[in-house]
Amino acid sequence: MAATADETEEHTDAPGSVSVPRRRGQGRIALAVSVFGELLITAGLVLGLFVVYSLWWTNVVADRTAHKQADKVRDSWAAEEDTGPGALDTKKGIGFLHVPAMKNGEVLVEKGTSSKVLNDGVAGYYVDPVKAALPTTGKEGNFSLAAHRDGHGAKFHNIDKVRKGDPIVFETKDKWYVYKVYAVLPETSKYNVKVLGAVPKESGKKKAGHYITLTTCTPVYTSRYRYVVWGELERVEKVDSERTPPKELR
């Protein structure tokens, strides 16, 4: 079948050369492929920038905020303020969490587990749906905490490195609370609040005691499930004038 005038055009490279018909449809397809390719490249760049923002820049911003808050906490301790960290109504922070296995330094602990709190690069203790038992009260219960695993400081990013027998230390103005990890739950429903109970039975405990629970999202880069680490209080040490840390942190 002969091509119509709309489908072909005569193309001459030079005088005396043979005219070769070229289909306009092929040119349109090539143009469409080129535009689509450019769109894919642009989309890839945008996605890459978003990943950099989510996993790197938010960490930078959160760490800066956390450091400023931490400095305020330690300054208030040095000033011996009666309303400093440790008070239930403080908005500065109640102390610092140290988990050597995570290799994340000291983590400021504040009230609440909302994104507004955790996005500042801190760990937060639960007030809802279960109320955490603060060790500073001396009462039995579960000192349950949460922190981000990725982005916004990612303070619990290496929670999967924590093993049974590892220490968890909570530092306040006057005391060091030294816990020992006794159970790990790599995955559970994010709606499973039983892991935060005063007696965390899913960890194997049946009697009241002084427990600590660390929770965060899992798998990495998702929030589908929760990763849980349980510890039990081994001892309490008074803070000396030089703030010498327990042997577990030396």
Positions annotated as catalytic residues are 217
Neighbours of 14 (CB within 10 A): 5
Contacts of 147 (CB under 8 A, 6+ apart): 107, 118, 122, 123, 124, 153, 155, 156, 214, 216
| First-to-final CA distance of the chain | 87
> What distance in Å separates the CA atoms of residue 191 and residue 205, rounded to the nearest whole number?
20
Sign of CA dihedral 241, 238, 157, 113: negative
Quick one: DSSP state of residue 102? Answer: G
Place of tokens 């909302």: 114
Q: Sign of torsion, CA 184 248 119 50?
A: negative
- Residue 160 backbone dihedrals phi, psi, to 5 degrees: -70, -5
Beta strand ranges found along the chain (DSSP E): 8-11, 20-23, 95-98, 106-111, 123-125, 141-146, 167-171, 175-189, 210-218, 225-238
